Structure 1
């Protein structure tokens, strides 16, 4: 089967006209973030925020003309809100918050409840695994936590929301795989070790950078969640991007999160950033399930000596200070790193190891808290009468 090229996609999109400007969307600079990989095509169409609600037919037309090209297996287009002055200013940088993506407290779960539910109607509970900064082992924790939850007998999904640095395909041994689309509109998630998985890493080459602005990332995240056939899922683990930016706000606003888990290492600078992440979730009314201290200590594989390379106990102390639960500590050990690099996470490749047990203990605590939250939600508010 012939492979479609970026130029072929752009040629097809030149036949799609903006109904107001009477020119094609390529010439107008509206097509951004085009990615083509093994027949899977994804791109964003930047529009004025006020016109966005009326341009859904334009998005569908663009998707349709690309889907009709020989060699295209799936076509995915998203509408994104552009900066003032037109799509051609995209290279000037800066972030634009799309509609409904403001800052401040009380907006995460307090309005538009029916809207978030429509993204994941078959998922019972969603938890976000986050960190204030990169390099603390958040993705490794997310994947091993998801697998440990699966070992509790739950139906589990993992959504890799780290658009700029997706790692789920490699860590789950799925590098080079692509999701399939039975109807050309929705996608089937991949499966790794019994859990369902979706990641931007399945759409682009592993070494290819994704140069997208905030609104494009938000649109892509929403579409990936909405257009995937997850099936009946007990728990979805979302591996969040590091930091507290547009992607994090999009997920907290559009997905009904049962709670968030914050990952940190023991040193002060990591704890400072973890505190920022935790406070972000509190501002948008997302329950904090607890803090995990990763790389908590190092045990010498030869003599068994325990060494606190990054300090020790900082996350536990911080949890007490911030009045949230401490979920557990995971050591700094070569087996955790090497198994992840091989696509064989330690929870499944070395299930009897103390490191795998650490993840299972954390998973049990997380599931207990989710169940407690579900029970409290079913009971509703309790009133005391004299």
Structure 2
């Protein structure tokens, strides 16, 4: 699996994503001791301020491997049992038969059957994932809303279930990870943000990664442009947005360099025990929020390359921003990419997202970055 970094090909691939319509993006690719960083486009469409590869960025659900690692540390300590019912720990949040049937492991790999709370928290997205019948007004209405995580969990628990606990096909749901946050806080006696910061972020040696204290991103960063499938035209900046709507399930701010560093150290066994890492890499089929079926472990999912081995990592989206970070199982080849626009695909008459040149350009960038 000998790879090398083709700087010219990587630079071209990043620039092609910008040319395809992405306002700005930046990336870091590592191969052994070699490191390439690149950026293309603008961080602010109004001023033309350029993006740079060192910018801090909302990384969305790439937070989930951090949260999962924190939970697995408590498994390593014997304070959490992966196969214990969540009702043993949080009977008031998941009561009765469901609390007895749903295990901690099911929360981690989205096989609990608990629905996504998001459409209930953002009322004009109630039809989600029926995209044609959603409206983006809630994004603006809730820009500064401070959500209570217990209330968000209650919305997901009260919603019609999306499957049976432990069923053969999971459904991705942030409700699962907000419950894991509550579990982590109960067993550690501190906030999840504080525990993850001390025991995951600092253990990994990350200097530019942290949870936001409010609706703003500290340090050099890009604006984040939300298009909501062409319904917001031109796309509106949502870099200022209170992230309590996802909390430690998806609110981290990081850099592409820090993401690569974290995944490298996680896969090297420096964050959780080897047995817990093996558990994280045991996958089940899960329906993603985009409607695709993916393999999903405990806060990680794999990507396979022809003859290149398995990459592990996670993607993430927030209002206006997105990122993908993947590291090969041997830790040698790594990729982290951040983009500053989301939901660029317009909808056809049936309400399905139409292909966009950005899709193909991003797929090419990921292929060049991971497989050379």
Fold conserved between structures, TM > 0.5: no
The TM-score bracket by the shorter chain reads under 0.3
Rg bigger for which structure?
Answer: 1
Larger relative contact order, structure 1 or 2 (CA cutoff 8 Å, min sep 6) = 2
TM-score in terms of structure 2 length: 0.28
